Structure 1
Amino acid sequence: MYEPERKRRQWSDGRKKRLRRTISWLAFGVVVLLVAGFAYVGFTYWHFASGIHRVGGVVGNSAPGTDQNILLIGNDERPANMTAQQYQQLSTTADGGSANTDTMILLHIPANGSSATLISFPRDSWVSIPGHGKGKLNAAYVYGMNGATGTADQKDAAGVKLLISTIQNLTDLKINHYVKVSLLSFYNIANALGPVTVCLNHAVDDPYSGANFPAGVQKLNATQALQFVRQRHGLPNGDLDRAARQQYFLSVEAQQILNAGTLLNPVKLNNVVGAISSSLEMDDKLNLISLATQLKGLKSGGIKSATVPLMPDPYGTENGQSVVLINYDALPDFLATVTGGKTAAQRVAAAKAADPASVTVDVLNGAGTARGSSTALATYKSLGFQTGQPADAPSSQQTTTIYFPKGDEGAAKAVAAALPGAAIAQSSDYKHVTVILGTDGLMPKGADSSGGSSSSQAPSSGSGTSGGSGASSTPAPSAPTKNYNKTTCIN
């Protein structure tokens, strides 16, 4: 998902000014949640929980002991009572900041609590926002907040709800809870936790974030930690490298906590608990005791990090805006492997094949060969399928792929039986099961083809799994995650 360094467009003075105001520091949530959970070892529930700001009406109830998805949100809000010294310490300006949620990380915790995965969403991801059409992901909160009336908490709740709806629609994952941390809150928590050790591949000097660090291993104080996770200018992959820094920082801090350096120091633990308690906003359904119980098996190296899959060239322009392009075809399988679910090919293999007469199949020619889609459609028609009109794919495609809408696994299985070796993917871009022919030369086989292919035949149960055979020759991808520690060097 990362690209080699390339020259980007020049920034206008106006855009530079806006970027100075943009704080995409870090949702410090995983560290917050870990400390929150383990803090109960030495402190009562009320000592910790009484200072947390709770907002109701955002999420529903979730069953304890099940997988949990917690949205970690960071934004540029500055409290009205911030002092000039605090502005200086935070390397930011007294311009009020913005309500954009410039850091969005989904923390996935499996039911057994033995691991945790941080899934980052670039703030400029081009997504569908319910009720607002297409837009950047970090605008969803603002749209929801600006469209609401009532108290500050009610407006905040509306913003978070729209952001949650946007990410749920994007991922098809239920978000159970959220934690929101502001710019000053991050600083206070980082200050209480103490210096963190990081390692950089290259020296950096960024006037926008204030990050000025040499290459190699070094310890960062709270001000430097904020600069470290905010930087995106001067990095080879911009926002993508910043997301990696956020994941890295969270992992290193969490390991520091789990290695007992904080837990066995009563004075430090008290400071950390107090800083966190007064710095958090979360939904009113998040039960920290239950979460702590679920996380009791988490080990120091049990935190993994990933970023949603992006297009090979992830930077684009939409409506005059610079955006990040998500690879929507790869997204469902990516999330399945990260969360322990089944990939599209595995779900198709487990489904009962539909009657071809009940299935409409479309074929798009991505191979560039003459009459490719017409020939394929004629084969499917001879097998009893309903067929659409031949057409060319929007662009050339190497791998022949069967795309199916959510819930049409049985239809996809029937189509795949006549097209052994094709890849399988779920996609919301198509109304019917759609085959895109690739330059690999695969074509559907009729009932009288050599090998005896028939649309009534189902792909084997190994379809889509490593070492399996059947409808898809593409093995299920391994979880695209990384484990960071303080000796890992990053950009």
Structure 2
Amino acid sequence: MVTENPRRVAAPATSRWRAMAGWKKAMIALVLMVGVLCAGLGAVGFGLKQRYEGRVQREDILGKGTVPHDERRWESGPLNLLLLGSDSRDGEPDQALYPGQRSDTIMLVHLNAGRDAATVVSIPRDSYVDVPAAGEVWSGGPNKINAAFAFGGAALAAETVAKLTGLPLDGVLVANFAAVRKLVDAVGGINVCLPYTVTSSDTGVTWPAGCHDLDGRAADDLIRQRHGVPGGDFGRIHDQQLVVRALAERVTATSLLTSPTRLDRVLTTAAESLIVDRDLDLADLALALRRVRPETVQFVTAPFSDPNLQTPAGSAVRLDEVRAPALFTALREDRVAQWLAANPQTPPAN
């Protein structure tokens, strides 16, 4: 009989990654890409379909024929996923998941042709862009990009992003980012390193520049701040990206993956936070993401030239007329790594 050596030390994180089951690797890839909110999908394609897919809501988003969409792209080559996030608070209805309300977070997730790296592009919600017509509700024309969700739900938001970027979309996910609090607590808290001081306009708490251990309530408070953070809404976007990265690091660096109870809590919370396109095959998504590693995910904010553009829709953001199209071209041509090398990301300034 073989007995286990009680003095054996735990394997390092890199070894645990190599030995990890395929569905768990896919889950981690999704953790990295959408901040744990899509984590449950990784498990769906690898034997846990009934438990988690039943918790995910479905909606016809890309089936209207207004967005370039080709199922054959799933067989090989790069993929583009659109993530729309709500920002409802405790006690408020999760209105941003439904037509008539605006989406506070817009992320374009690009998976490279080798399917071993991903780029998450945050598009400022106040970007002043062309929003296509939506029946009698909206006749079409310039407006803030998050207005598209109010006029035509996720389908019009996807059409707007596709028109802006020139990218085909291979899937759309609508996530409730209020679940971040539950997810952070589920993984036992996170450590976030801030390059600047942030003061909460809600609680008065101040986080000096440096690293901080945050529980779910503190992390939720941090990613909501727009006024007590350098760069306003751009600082908020940057803080969201920092929390996404910290969540991913926490998941890969702790025993979460070997704790069935805690893992189930994270996957359940993630699945219950999602609405996905009706035709998005979750098993195919998990399979496509199985080789993405924590260190191969990059975050970028769409370049802008004027954060205080005055428009009929109010103060808005003018995207840079040179650098933003160059980024979208780099995504279309799957050479975003070169674009990032030439355009290194820096924290927002006051």
TM-score by length of 2: 0.75
Cα distance in 2 for partners of 1:489, 1:326 equals: 15
8 Å contact from structure 1 (residues 199, 217) kept in 2:
yes
8 Å contact from structure 1 (residues 211, 228) kept in 2:
no
1:137 maps to which residue? 145
1:222 maps to which residue? 216
SS at match of 2:227: coil
8 Å contact from structure 1 (residues 334, 480) kept in 2:
no
2:200 maps to which residue? 206
1:109 maps to which residue? 111
2:84 maps to which residue? 73
8 Å contact from structure 1 (residues 245, 490) kept in 2:
no
2:20 maps to which residue? none
Distance 1:127 1:210, change over 3 A: farther
Cα offset, 1:265, TM superposition? 1.7
Query: Residues 288-336 of structure 1: CA distance to partner in whole angstroms, max 9, x if unpaired?
Result: 222222212111211101111111x432211261111101232222223
Distance 1:109 1:261, change over 3 A: farther
Cα offset, 1:195, TM superposition? 0.7
Cα offset, 1:40, TM superposition? 5.9
Amino acid at match of 1:112: G
Query: Residues 151-190 of structure 1: CA distance to partner in whole angstroms, max 9, x if unpaired?
Result: xxxxxxxx11111111111100111211112254343333
Cα offset, 1:137, TM superposition? 0.8
Query: Residues 394-432 of structure 1: CA distance to partner in whole angstroms, max 9, x if unpaired?
Result: xxxxxxxxxxxxxxxxxxxxxxxxxxxxxxxxxxxxxxx
| Residue 250 of structure 2 is aligned to residue 283 of structure 1 | no
Cα distance in 2 for partners of 1:480, 1:111 equals: 21
2:191 maps to which residue? 197
8 Å contact from structure 1 (residues 122, 324) kept in 2:
yes
2:287 maps to which residue? 293
Distance 1:166 1:240, change over 3 A: same
Q: After superposition, where does 1:82-481 map in structure 2 within 5 Å?
A: 86-87=90-91, 99-131=101-133, 132-144=140-152, 159-208=153-202, 212-259=206-253, 261-311=255-305, 313-319=306-312, 321-338=314-331, 340-341=333-334, 478=341, 480=343
8 Å contact from structure 1 (residues 62, 176) kept in 2:
yes
Distance 1:286 1:257, change over 3 A: farther
Cα distance in 2 for partners of 1:271, 1:490 equals: 37
Query: Residues 204-245 of structure 1: CA distance to partner in whole angstroms, max 9, x if unpaired?
Result: 322247654344211211121111111111222111111111
SS at match of 2:251: helix
8 Å contact from structure 1 (residues 255, 300) kept in 2:
yes
8 Å contact from structure 1 (residues 316, 325) kept in 2:
yes
Cα offset, 1:341, TM superposition? 3.9
| Residue 34 of structure 2 is aligned to residue 32 of structure 1 | no
Distance 1:62 1:39, change over 3 A: closer
8 Å contact from structure 1 (residues 205, 213) kept in 2:
yes
Query: Residues 370-394 of structure 1: CA distance to partner in whole angstroms, max 9, x if unpaired?
Result: xxxxxxxxxxxxxxxxxxxxxxxxx
1:53 maps to which residue? 57
Distance 1:478 1:263, change over 3 A: same
2:66 maps to which residue? none
Compute the RMSD of aligned alpha carbons.
3.2
Distance 1:30 1:218, change over 3 A: closer
Q: Which runs of 5+ in 1 are unaligned?
A: 1-26, 79-85, 88-92, 145-158, 344-465, 467-475
SS at match of 1:190: helix
Amino acid at match of 2:38: L
SS at match of 1:142: helix
Query: Residues 410-465 of structure 1: CA distance to partner in whole angstroms, max 9, x if unpaired?
Result: xxxxxxxxxxxxxxxxxxxxxxxxxxxxxxxxxxxxxxxxxxxxxxxxxxxxxxxx
Cα distance in 2 for partners of 1:490, 1:320 equals: 25
Larger radius of gyration: 1
Amino acid at match of 1:255: E
Report percent identity of matched pairs: 27
8 Å contact from structure 1 (residues 200, 490) kept in 2:
no
Tell which has more relative contact order, 1 or 2 (C-alpha 8 A, sep 6+): 2
How many pairs were matched up?
302
Distance 1:222 1:189, change over 3 A: same
TM-score by length of 1: 0.55
Amino acid at match of 2:320: N
Cα offset, 1:52, TM superposition? 0.7
SS at match of 2:37: helix
8 Å contact from structure 2 (residues 198, 230) kept in 1:
no
Q: Which runs of 5+ in 2 are unaligned?
A: 1-31, 64-68, 134-139
Amino acid at match of 2:311: E
8 Å contact from structure 1 (residues 129, 140) kept in 2:
yes
Distance 1:269 1:107, change over 3 A: same
Cα offset, 1:134, TM superposition? 0.8
Distance 1:52 1:210, change over 3 A: farther
Cα distance in 1 for partners of 2:274, 2:56 equals: 5
Query: Residues 237-279 of structure 1: CA distance to partner in whole angstroms, max 9, x if unpaired?
Result: 1111111111222122223334464222211111111212222
